[in-house]
Amino acid sequence: MRAVVRDWQPRNKITTPLAGIPSYVSSGIIKAVMKSGEKISVAQIDYQEFDEENFQYVISPYWEIIDGLPASVFQGIPGIDMDLRLERYYRVNYIPTFIAERTPSENREDLWEILESVGMDYYDRFEWLLRTTMRAANDNLIVERKRGSQIVEEFAPGMLSVLQYGDKIIVESVEAIGDTAAGFMDGIFTIVINGVDVISQNGQVLVDSATRAAMVPILVTQRMITRREHAASRREGIEEAKKKGKYSGRKPIEVDEKVLRQVNQELKEGLITVEEAMKRTKIGSKSTYYRRVRALE
């Protein structure tokens, strides 16, 4: 495993970081989505504004996680030369390929409709990205908003869904992470792929960047094998049900057309958010909601 480069010399204005303190910062976490749906944190991305309309994007890879991922899960960040192994990649007064590929440009005809769909009445392509689960056509990466502060507190099972890179959880013992074998493995997997440190109450470090690097390839491989086994078992069950004439496939979600039309009109007018639209139509995901709207129109 090659060392991370921290003293790289910029080659041009685009890669030379701006000096000074930014007047505005917004941050996200880039995550690789596995075929089974798990999201693995691979980098932090920051958008920073400075005086005189200067701005920069900063991408900071989580190398100890990236190095343990197979190519089927992570193929790199578009526009970034991962072979350089930099601690931080800068794009100054320039829209990175990663951002350009998955956000609407100012010239798009339906721009304001797209912005309104996530409750925005102004153009900010990075903020728009943080409010969606948008992917580019050629990768499996999404961006989720990063909290402004880190969690450092006693572990509770309900924390797993909100943990982010850099958080620290304190446990009486590692057994506290799960009270069943499956629950324990799910908990450890979530903690490791999100870059969370685990510390015992007596101060012993149980999981940190060093141990995480060793655990990632094992846990990710174990999860991929488990999911394949579950998928195979499910297919066998479906085939058996078909033979017995008891399988009819998944039923589509029933949505009242009048309700959907009314809710979608309110969404277009900016009166409600897409989350509220989903709640009122009882649709569980944004992709399903927009698919039903397209079918209706």
Q: What is the pLDDT of residues 46-92, one digit of tens each?
A: 999 998 889 999 999 999 999 999 999 999 999 999 999 999 999 99
- Asked if residue 220 lies in contact with residue 228, where contact means CB atoms within 8 angstroms, the answer is no
Report angle CA 268, 272, 274 to the nearest 5 degrees: 75
Q: What is the pLDDT of residues 91-112, one digit of tens each?
A: 999 999 999 999 999 998 889 9
Q: What is the pLDDT of residue 54?
A: 96
How far apart (Å, rounded) are the C-alpha atoms in residues 70 and 77?
Answer: 14
How far apart (Å, rounded) are the C-alpha atoms in residues 119 and 102?
Answer: 18
How far apart (Å, rounded) are the C-alpha atoms in residues 163 and 192?
Answer: 10
- Topology of domain 152-243 in CATH is Rossmann fold (3.40.50)
pTM: 0.79
Q: What is the pLDDT of residues 180-209, one digit of tens each?
A: 998 999 999 999 999 999 999 999 999 999
- Asked if residue 270 lies in contact with residue 116, where contact means CB atoms within 8 angstroms, the answer is yes
**Domain residue ranges of the chain, discontinuous segments joined by +:** 13-145, 152-243, 257-296
Element (H, E) at 108: none
- Asked if residue 29 lies in contact with residue 44, where contact means CB atoms within 8 angstroms, the answer is yes
- Asked if residue 60 lies in contact with residue 87, where contact means CB atoms within 8 angstroms, the answer is yes
Q: Which residue's entry shows tokens 């320039």?
A: 94
The answer on pLDDT for 250 being more than 70 is no
How far apart (Å, rounded) are the C-alpha atoms in residues 166 and 169?
Answer: 10
How far apart (Å, rounded) are the C-alpha atoms in residues 196 and 248?
Answer: 43
- Asked if residue 269 lies in contact with residue 263, where contact means CB atoms within 8 angstroms, the answer is no
Give the residue from 296, 280, 278 showing the smallest Cα distance to 288.
Answer: 278
Mean pLDDT for the stretch of residues 265-291: 81
Q: What is the pLDDT of residues 215-232, one digit of tens each?
A: 999 999 999 998 888 888
How far apart (Å, rounded) are the C-alpha atoms in residues 134 and 289?
Answer: 14
Which of 53-62, 266-275, 278-287 reaches the highest mean pLDDT?
Answer: 53-62
